[in-house]
Amino acid sequence: MSRVKLKRFADNAGRPDVIEPGKATYQQLGGRWHAEFFRNSNPITLEVGCGKGEYTVGLAERYPERNFLGLDIKGERIWRGSTRAEALGLTNVGFLRTRAHDLLTHFAPGELHEIWITFPDPRPRDRDIKRRLTAPRFLDLYQQVLPPGGLVHLKTDNEGLFDFTLETLQQRPGATILAHTKDLYATPELLPHAEDIQTTFERKYRTLGVPIKYLQFQLS
């Protein structure tokens, strides 16, 4: 492992906004994020698969009256998001290093207010369908950690993942599709819903002329 990575992992270990294996609070905050981490009662938004935390930090900067968490399994990616949040002086943002399928280990039922899924791995092979972050088993998890009416947002460049998600929701009892488009930037009325924050992936795909897909839904 490079010295740079070792330094970043050491930084994460000492940062209070990073919750990861090895820390006393890891797996101990479920039901207590408001009281013990954010120390306020403001609603919590989670970005699943946050990567470098661009969306998480962008939202936290835009909405200081709300709380934001970025979830990712890669410590170096989380370091980048945490570093940017620290540089901006943000106190309403944190990062959780874990896997998406462990959501119920870290959150109590209804503890989250909203979920974002931004440019996830599309898992195009049929044998990987269950690993897609909008597969039924993940939707089941989101439904448990969100309150009734809690919003879920998906942004992706991948048409296959978008179509799969749309079809999955259409077949799911109680799911409500609130907005969807296969070309977000040609549908300006939806840009406020999508927050028009651009990640590195989004800028890359837009430069290549790939339309950005957006989907907003609720799970009941």
Annotated binding site for substrate: 157, 199-202
- Output the six-digit token pair for 152: 């879920």
Active site residue 121: yes
Buried-exposed string 14-26: b where 16+ CB fall within 10 A, e elsewhere? ebebbbbeeeeee
Annotated binding site for S-adenosyl-L-methionine: 47, 72, 121
Given the residues 11, 17, 102, 121, the one annotated as active site: 121
Buried-exposed string 27-64: b where 16+ CB fall within 10 A, e elsewhere? eebeeebbeebbeeebbbbbbbbbbbbbbbbbbbbeee
Instruction: List the catalytic residues.
Output: 121
